Structure 1
Amino acid sequence: MLTSFLLRGLAVGTVVATAFGSPAAAQDVIKIGAPLPLTGPLAPEGLKQKRGYDLWAETANAKGGIKADGKTYTVEIVYTDYASNTPRAVQAAERLITEDKVNFLFAPFGSGATKAASAISEKYQIPMLAASASSAEIFNQGFKYIFSTLTGNETVSVPIAKLVAAKNKDIKRVAVLARNDLFPLAVAQEFEKAVKAEGMEVVASERYAIGTMDHSAAITQMRAARPDWFYASGYINDLILIRKQMADLGLRAPIITLIAGPAYAEFAKTVGPLAENVTSMSWWHPAVRYKGKDVFGSTEAFNAAWEKKYGGEADYIDASATADGAVLQLAIEAAGTIDPVKVRDALAALDVETFYGRVKFSSGGQIQTLQPPIFQLVDGKPVLLWPDALKAGDLKFMPK
């Protein structure tokens, strides 16, 4: 059974093709384009999405492929590396449609690049599934061909604000440091609204440019503001750097929340003891338990497949990327065809249980049926604090 991928390197204008298994030429193939940041500062996140897509494609092909149009299709994913450069992500998405003739798209990493590429999927009427896009700006454009398996930024802001307010009435002063990029800025703004709604005061709110390596000025200013709660948004390399520089410059707070790097095991491994008691929220966690109609069938089966292929546990990006493939497969099979317009309509109509949870999209294309958990890192491992059905520990505060 075929399981293959093509990797095209845009950064230097070269094309590298890699395949494993038998050639696809004589078979009916569904081609899915996946522009990803496989090099550059966002490569850790891009590689996570790729792992999820690969696991789904291998699983779908091993179980007989996708049935539609009276045929059985195998899955081929065509990858392009846009080198963590959003304009190149847009160019890559268009090339995948016009030159590689893909049937469907998986979105680039993050809300910013996904929003930019959504104009391409809309232009060509090609459904695009996003594994790492949560910002409302994507889904209020009136577009019909973008679908995301992450809930909105308010769902990773309001619950943690309510939990902290309920646990400690002395948490009043909040400092916020946000990467000046679509998702990190949008989620920080939702967080500020959430803490203000709980009667807290935002005593410092700073932005840092993409690629910033020295946060000393912002951290020093925030230390002077004496926050009870420090919050930073960004991607894993940003947040590793910020956490280390906080320690170097003596910025402490009873609560330190970072979105979304601590959801990845690499964060705790890299910062070591500085990860202790850091809080965060994640759109998904392997402790959830769902029975589904997708190719995996249950959360337990997905977890086992992930551990067998990669070792360890999947994080929310890993799972969301895998879910994108599983959801696309369900939509194709429901439509009975690979016609992109009919598959788009099937995606819009989905209301189905999967290993990832219940999947139902809003009119704008964003999943609206998940409850992201709150967790705290203890001894390098995430301990779930909320929702109550998954709770494994109580919130701990740090010395100020």
Structure 2
Amino acid sequence: MQDGTATGSRPNRRQFLRAVRAAGVAAFAGGAATACAPGPRTADAAAGRDDVIRIGYVSPETGPLAPYGEADRFVVDVMAEFFAANPVHVGGRPHRVEILRRDSQSDSNRAGDVAAGLVLDDGIHLMLVSATSDTANAVSDQCEAAGLPCVATATPWQSWFYGRGGRPQAPFAWTYLFSWGLEDTQAVYADMWDQVATNRTAGALWPNDTDGLAWGNPGAGFPPAVAQRGYTIVDPGNYVGGTQDFSAQIAAFRAGAAEVLLGVPSPADFATFWRQAGQQGYRPRLATIGRGIHFPATVEGIGAAAVNLATEVGWSPNHPFTSSLTGQSAADLATEYRDTSGRQWSQPIGFAHALFEVAAAAFGAVGSADDRRGIADAIAGMRLDTVVGPLDFTAGPVRGVAKTPLVGGQWRPGTTSPYELVVVSNARHPEIPAAGAVEALSAA
């Protein structure tokens, strides 16, 4: 396994990608395309021994989105060890696997640049990318332009598909995603909201990024969905990520008597907002926050004020699913992470692991690791039971997307950790057990 980040800019890379992207508009229109020439080949491949699979992996390990990448080193190390003992068979031949991990630094431009390096300089056969549209979209765009198969996860499919200019009648040819959608988050939040008595007024905390724009979309985001359920939204407008002053938003929520809080801020932004909300006397009865409170470290940093904060849950140790690669249950995987790192599980662990399940299945379906079109087609037609649940890339909602189950949870004081994320809403997925009921936030 190779580890590290690209250093410096490479001459003519961006010029090359612009040319590829321009050519790709014609080559990939309508989803019908032939594979572009593969990247640099190793000495083994040049000598006719095509027995190496090179997989690129991009996620934010540093920067404001670093909690999403916190467990990636663990997952990549475990997968590298697994593949060393269990080579992937391609065309009947065992192939060793090289995983090249890169840090997007929570910056979409950086994500695109390191993706370009993996495609052009490192000659990877497949790209994997995780953790919000800030990273997934830029990496997916580079792969689409270069004609390289790519699998993304852990971002709502609308942010990934429409945020990149996708259209159902002209889907992407090389890039794929498994995750949940806004419709799933809306259903989970609605179920939790309806279990707490409020004045049915929600304050909207939308960042000015791809996820915030998708969630706050007046035509297809949360506003029409919650209006149908009799809720009113107080929307002070999208804020700039990284802001240190949320006084305007807090004042709007207080003036509008918003007893529900709704939003998709980054972990750092939500911690800042929630601290200032407490200082300025704003305390909703229920807060459902996407992205910002997925992680134990964020919640521990907030402290007691985090009890009963609610969020969507895409993976947990209680999910009744098993890895198609290692045979581990979700609980086994969470335990291994705790025993190895000394830290509490977090949701991205399951999704990062499942990326490698999809990768192994795709390579196992083709005769050559250099068959880009074959790999892409294998993903497009894949049905696979994974540690995050059953994936069906043939089912939609749009070509190239497989849905994953979603439930709702709240943070509660823990027994083995300071705070634990407890599933409290499973109406749409009763196969995922609930461990508690929805509770209102405390008044102080």
Q: TM-score, normalised by structure 1?
A: 0.88
Kindly state the Cα deviation for residue 12 of structure 1 after the two structures are TM-superposed. Answer: 9.0
**Contact 2:196–2:439 (Cα < 8 Å) also in 1:** no
Q: Give yes or no for contact 1:107–1:131 (8 Å, CA) kept in 2.
A: yes
Map 1:7-18 → 2, pairs under 5 A: 7-10=4-7
Q: Secondary structure at the match of 1:359?
A: strand
Match of residue 148 from structure 2: 126
Q: Percent same amino acid at aligned positions?
A: 23
Cα distance per residue 1:249-280 (max 9 Å; x no partner): 11111111211232211122111101111111
Work out the CA distance in 2 between the residues paired with 1:293 and 1:209. Answer: 41
Q: Distance in 2 between matches of 1:123 and 1:55?
A: 31
1:143 aligns with 2:172: yes
* Count of residues paired in the alignment: 384
Of the candidates 66, 74, 80, which is equivalent to residue 51 of structure 1?
A: 74
Which residue among 323, 348, 362 is the counterpart of 1:317? 348
2:255 is aligned, of 224, 227, 232, to 224
The reply to whether residue 364 of structure 1 matches residue 399 of structure 2 is: yes
Deviations 1:92-140 (A, max 9, x none): 2112111111111112642133223322211222111113222415335
Contact 1:277 1:396 in 2 (8 A): yes
Note the alpha carbon deviations across 1:72-94, whole angstroms, 9 max, x for none.
22222222334332122212211
Aligned equivalents of 1:152, 1:365: Cα separation in 2: 13
Aligned partner letter, 1:327:
V
Q: Does 1:397 align with 2:418?
A: no
CA contact (8 A) 1:376 1:395 kept: yes
Q: Secondary structure at the match of 2:400?
A: coil
1:103 aligned to 2:142? no
* Conserved 8 A contact 2:425-2:438: no
Runs of 4+ in structure 1 over 4 Å off:
24-27
Q: How does 1:225-374 map to 2 (within 5 A)?
A: 225-338=256-369, 339-361=371-393, 362=396, 363-368=398-403, 370-374=404-408
**CA 1:135 to 1:186, structure 2 compared with 1: closer, same or farther past 3 Å?**
farther
Unaligned runs of 5+ in 1: 14-23
User: Does 1:42 find its partner at 2:60?
Assistant: no
SS in 2 for 1:377: strand
Superposed counterparts of 1:19-30, under 5 Å: 28-30=51-53
| TM-score normalised by the chain length of structure 2 | 0.80
**CA–CA distance in 2 between the matches of 1:123 and 1:219?**
42
Letter in 2 for 1:162: D
Task: Name the stretch that deviates more: 38-47 or 238-247.
Answer: 38-47
Structure-2 separation of matches of 1:124 and 1:83: 22
CA deviation vs aligned residue, 1:32-89 (integer Å, no higher than 9, x gap): 1223333322233233344333333332323x22111332222222223343321222
Question: 1: distance between equivalents of 2:183 and 2:58?
Answer: 27
Cα gap change, 1:169 to 1:97, in 2 (>3 Å) = same
Structure 2 portions without partners, runs of 5+? 11-41, 414-418
Residue 18 of structure 1: aligned partner: none
1:378 aligns to what? 412
SS in 2 for 1:352: strand
How far apart are the structure 2 equivalents of 1:12 and 1:244?
A: 40
CA 323–272 in structure 1, closer or farther in 2 if over 3 Å, else same: same
SS of equivalent to 1:335: coil
C-alpha distance in 2 between matches for 1:311 and 1:326: 25
AA matched with 2:178: T
